[in-house]
Amino acid sequence: MSALTKKGKGESMKEYDVVVIGSGAGMVIVEGALSQGLRVALVDKGPLGGTCLNVGCIPSKMLIYPADRIAEIQEAKKLGIDVTIVQRRDRLVRNEEPEISELLKREMAKRMKIYTNTEVSEVKKNGDGYTIIGRDKIIGEEKEFTAEHIMIATGRKSNADLLKVENTGVETDERGYVKVNDYLETSKENIWALGDAIGKYMFRHVANHEALVAWHNSIHTEEVKMEYRAIPHAVFSHPQIASVGLTEEQAKKDYDIVVGKANYSAVAKGEAMMETESFAKAIVEKSSMKILGFHIIGPYAPILIQEVITTHGK
Ligand SMILES: Cc1cc2nc3c(=O)[nH]c(=O)nc-3n(C[C@H](O)[C@H](O)[C@H](O)COP(=O)(O)OP(=O)(O)OC[C@H]3O[C@@H](n4cnc5c(N)ncnc54)[C@H](O)[C@@H]3O)c2cc1C
């Protein structure tokens, strides 16, 4: 968000009180500024609504819901769809607890082929399909996979270079994300940044909150810090995963902890669902009994985690 005052080469440049670049969580700021009667410009290189609305959260959930139903009634095989996952690292979901990643792999391996520790080096068009060349990182052996379609899901990277933010004096970090302080101020006065552009927690619920904080700080002298204490995330895999706070490994570094685990089957509903493997894991500070982290794998995990968020850190 910035106030533009400079004129370009011989062009007349309109002046606004607030310029918002990006119409995802940026819309929160547009709304705030308009409600204050300010002159606002919204600039977006793509369709209105940003990633979440157009290609992210919303459309992916439209696919996940029917995919879940198909998996539940085990029709994937009947439909004759063969899926292969090729993963460079040793774990499928490396930011989750190792035992959660392991259970996910075991469960998914019942429905598809999974190759971990396998680095893809080449993809070739092969008639109507593709040939993918990979190498097993442990034994060094080359592997070949063929498929009709490929989905590349290797992560996200900054596109701050497109905007050439350095021309404004706004600094980026070594990964190319816009640097901000606790108040979401960039290195340049009167420019704030938020959401995926700052590369912290790349979720829509975080971006929305950051937008509120940035907007508040831009119009008040009493600034507030962006607080990242209890940020949940979910993996809409089958089984589902949800998590909030620290992992056991992270917590151990700074706290004396106790770890508790409970299987879904420990309660009657879980038993009735025949959920023998699904579980929840709590990481608690020994002295205060504060919940530092909570991790769930199993049905409705993203809904169940909300119960923990309300008490997280208390
Ligand atoms: C497939 C997928 C599924 C996802 N599912 C979830 C989910 O379930 N839950 C969740 O919380 N998050 C999810 N996310 C992440 C979520 O979409 C993002 O964290 C969120 O949209 C970030 O909001 P933002 O406003 O920072 O960025 P965006 O929503 O990406 O908005 C940025 C806007 O800026 C515009 N822009 C970029 N560069 C320029 C430029 N140089 N000039 C002008 N305009 C520019 C873009 O066109 C875009 O409209 C998902 C993401 C993906 C890709």
CATH number, position 291: 3.30.390.30
Find out whether the beta carbon of 193 lies less than 6 Å from any atom of ligand 1: no
In a domain, 47, yes or no: yes
- Output the six-digit token pair for 218: 């831009």
Nearest CA residue ID for atom 50, ligand 1:
56
Q: Which atom of ligand 1 is nearest to the CA of 26?
A: 25
Please say whether the beta carbons of 93 and 116 come within 8 A: no
Give the count of domains, the chain: 3
CA–centroid distance, 42 to ligand 1, in Å, is 15
Q: Are residues 191 and 309 in the same domain?
A: no
Among 192, 219, 246, the domain-final residue is 219
- CATH number at 83 reads 3.50.50.60
Q: Are residues 239 and 96 in the same domain?
A: no
Nearest CA residue ID for atom 7, ligand 1:
57
Q: Are residues 167 and 131 in the same domain?
A: no
CA–centroid distance, 53 to ligand 1, in Å, is 8
In a domain, 66, yes or no: no
Among 105, 120, 147, the domain-final residue is 147
Residues in Cβ contact with 151 at an 8 Å cutoff, skipping those fewer than 6 apart: none
- Please report the pLDDT score of residue 155 as a whole number: 87
Residue 86: other Cβ atoms inside 10 A:
18
C-alpha 108 chain-centroid distance: 21
Q: Are residues 131 and 258 in the same domain?
A: no
CA–centroid distance, 194 to ligand 1, in Å, is 11
Ligand 1 pocket: which of 20, 27, 52, 55 to mutate (most atoms <8 Å of CB)? 52
- Please report the pLDDT score of residue 2 as a whole number: 37
Distance, first Cα to last Cα, the chain: 34
Q: Are residues 187 and 243 in the same domain?
A: no
CA–centroid distance, 106 to ligand 1, in Å, is 31
Q: Are residues 191 and 212 in the same domain?
A: yes
CA–centroid distance, 196 to ligand 1, in Å, is 6
Ligand 1 pocket: which of 20, 48, 57, 159 to mutate (most atoms <8 Å of CB)? 57
Query: Rounded to whole angstroms, what are the CA distances from 151 to 22, 147, 148, 154?
Result: 26, 10, 10, 9
What torsion, rounded to 10 degrees, do the Cα atoms 107, 108, 112, 117 define? -110
Q: Are residues 174 and 243 in the same domain?
A: no
Q: Are residues 41 and 170 in the same domain?
A: yes
Find out whether the beta carbon of 56 lies less than 6 Å from any atom of ligand 1: yes
In a domain, 264, yes or no: yes
CA–centroid distance, 52 to ligand 1, in Å, is 5
Find out whether the beta carbon of 204 lies less than 6 Å from any atom of ligand 1: yes
Tell me the C-alpha distance between 186 and 210, whole Å.
13
Say whether the peptide bond before residue 239 is cis (omega within 30 degrees of 0).
yes
Tell me the C-alpha distance between 112 and 50, whole Å.
32
Q: What are the per-10-residue average pLDDT scores of the chain (314 residues)?
A: 44 88 97 96 96 93 82 64 92 95 95 94 94 95 95 89 90 96 97 96 96 97 93 94 96 97 95 95 96 96 93 62
In a domain, 171, yes or no: yes
- Please report the pLDDT score of residue 7 as a whole number: 46
Q: Where are the beta strands (DSSP E) in the chain?
A: 18-21, 40-43, 84-86, 113-115, 118-126, 129-136, 142-147, 232-235, 241-245, 257-263, 279-285, 291-297
Domain span holding position 179: 2-53+163-219
Q: Are residues 250 and 302 in the same domain?
A: yes
Find out whether the beta carbon of 25 lies less than 6 Å from any atom of ligand 1: yes
Tell me the C-alpha distance between 63 and 80, whole Å.
18
Ligand 1 pocket: which of 31, 43, 45, 51 to mutate (most atoms <8 Å of CB)? 51
Sign of the alpha-carbon torsion through 236, 237, 242, 246: negative
The answer to pTM > 0.75 is: yes
Find out whether the beta carbon of 45 lies less than 6 Å from any atom of ligand 1: yes
Find out whether the beta carbon of 177 lies less than 6 Å from any atom of ligand 1: no
Tell me the C-alpha distance between 122 and 133, whole Å.
5
Q: Are residues 129 and 83 in the same domain?
A: yes
- Output the six-digit token pair for 311: 């008490």
CA–centroid distance, 287 to ligand 1, in Å, is 40
Residue 195: other Cβ atoms inside 10 A:
27
In a domain, 63, yes or no: no
Q: Which atom of ligand 1 is nearest to the CA of 44?
A: 44
In a domain, 308, yes or no: yes
In the 3-class helix/strand/coil scheme, how is 58-127 assigned residue by residue?
HHHHHHHHHHHHHHHCCCCCCCCCCCEEECCCCCCCCCCCHHHHHHHHHHHCCCCEEECCEEEEEEEEEC
In a domain, 272, yes or no: yes
Q: Are residues 47 and 172 in the same domain?
A: yes
Among 147, 177, 202, the domain-final residue is 147
CA–centroid distance, 252 to ligand 1, in Å, is 33
Q: Are residues 125 and 258 in the same domain?
A: no
In a domain, 157, yes or no: no
